[in-house]
């Protein structure tokens, strides 16, 4: 409970800090909106040419894309501190974190709260509404709940990925470029349901990095292609991915040697 209060305090400091530069904040948020808007245009124009991809129509892809983008933006908003963690290790700032009598994950999480990702979030919400209007899904309470589960599970999965990304810095001091394929890459390629990429990729995204649990399977449930209730709860199951991520982080912290600066 105390750590939650502490985290909220960190968030409020961060927000007040950003609000000192209002113009810069709004411009960056607008820029974020625009960046993902061109990604949307890419999908839009491809579907002018093709009517379906692996049985998924334009509006169905839009739903998939927008939910994925919301999940990613939420995780980026909260866990941005991990994304920029290499700087913290190199500057020796992490030494200061370790001497404080508080959980270090909360402190790193609190070091940065990226409110500008709100722009991307807004774009995702607009696209989501547009996708719903375009499609003819028979909405029900359980389907709406599935969307919320997807957001929770997705935020957890991406946060876990950011955590792993940061934990690598304990060993390399630098952020590893290839990890981008799991974060930015997943956002980019997660526009389309994982099933599009074939059987092997689906297996990978089910059992190794659980992208399919937060995207493909619940989407099938929402679209009414699968009726089993388990598909509704799979996104919550994806939260298990936080466990190996936190263990890896703890392992990293134990092996941490200060960079000395």
Q: Is 126 in the site for another protein (CB under 8 A)?
A: no
Among 13, 181, 229, 243, binds another protein (CB under 8 A): 181
Task: Give the binding-site size for another protein (rule: CB under 8 A).
Answer: 35
**What DSSP line would sit under 209-259, residue for residue?**
S-HHHHTHHHHHHHTTS---THHHHHHHHGGGGHHHHHHHHHHHHHT----
Judged by beta carbon, residue 203 or residue 243, the one nearer another protein is: 203
Alpha-carbon Rg for the chain, nearest whole angstrom, is 19
Q: Is 122 in the site for another protein (CB under 8 A)?
A: no
E-strand ranges in the chain read: 52-53, 56-57
Judged by beta carbon, residue 7 or residue 170, the one nearer another protein is: 170
Site mask for another protein (CB under 8 A), range 19-38, x = bound: -----x--xx-xxx-xx-xx
Q: Is 45 in the site for another protein (CB under 8 A)?
A: yes
Which residue stretch of 3-11, 143-151, 186-194, 215-223 sits at the interface with another protein (rule: CB under 8 A)? 186-194
Q: Is 42 in the site for another protein (CB under 8 A)?
A: yes
Q: In whole angstroms, how close is the CB of 227 to another protein at the nearest point?
A: 25
Q: Is 204 in the site for another protein (CB under 8 A)?
A: no
Q: What are phi and psi of 56, to 5 degrees?
A: -100, 130
Cα separation of 4 and 153, whole Å?
19
Cα separation of 105 and 97, whole Å?
9
Q: Is 215 in the site for another protein (CB under 8 A)?
A: no
Q: In whole angstroms, how close is the CB of 23 to another protein at the nearest point?
A: 9
Among 8, 17, 54, 203, binds another protein (CB under 8 A): 54
Question: Token pair for residue 41?
Answer: 């245009």
- Angle 22-49/58-83 helices, nearest 10 degrees? 150
Cα separation of 177 and 147, whole Å?
31
**13 three-state secondary structure:** helix
Burial 65-85, CB ≥16 within 10 A → b, else e: bbbbbbbbbbbbbbbbbbbeb
Q: In whole angstroms, how close is the CB of 148 to another protein at the nearest point?
A: 28
**Interaction site with another protein (CB under 8 A):** 24, 27-28, 30-32, 34-35, 37-39, 41-42, 45-46, 48-54, 176-178, 180-181, 185, 188-189, 192, 196-198, 201
């Amino acid at each position: 409970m105390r750590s939650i209060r502490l985290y909220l305090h960190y968030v409020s400091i961060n927000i007040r800090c950003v609000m000192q530069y209002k113009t810069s904040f709004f411009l960056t948020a607008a820029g974020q909106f625009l960046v993902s808007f061109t990604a949307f245009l890419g999908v839009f124009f491809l579907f002018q040419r093709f009517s379906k991809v692996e049985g998924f129509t334009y509006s169905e892809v839009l739903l998939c894309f927008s939910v994925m983008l919301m999940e990613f933006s939420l995780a980026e908003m909260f866990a941005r501190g991990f994304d920029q963690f290499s700087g913290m290790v190199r500057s020796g700032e992490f030494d200061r974190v370790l001497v404080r009598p508080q959980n270090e994950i909360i402190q790193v999480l609190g070091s940065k709260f990226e409110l500008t990702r709100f722009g991307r979030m807004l774009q995702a919400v607009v696209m989501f509404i547009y996708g719903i209007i375009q499609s003819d899904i028979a909405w029900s309470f359980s389907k709406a709940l599935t969307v919320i589960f997807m957001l929770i599970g997705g935020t957890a999965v991406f946060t876990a990925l950011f955590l792993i990304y940061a934990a690598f810095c304990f060993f390399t001091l630098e952020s590893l470029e290839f990890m981008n394929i799991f974060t930015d890459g997943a956002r980019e390629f997660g526009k389309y349901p994982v099933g599009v990429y074939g059987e092997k990729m689906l297996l990978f995204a089910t059992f190794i990095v659980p992208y399919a649990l937060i995207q493909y399977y619940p989407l099938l449930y929402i679209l009414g292609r699968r009726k089993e209730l388990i598909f509704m709860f799979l996104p919550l199951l994806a939260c298990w991915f936080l466990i190996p991520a936190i263990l890896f982080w703890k392992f990293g912290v134990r092996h941490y040697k200060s960079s000395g600066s």
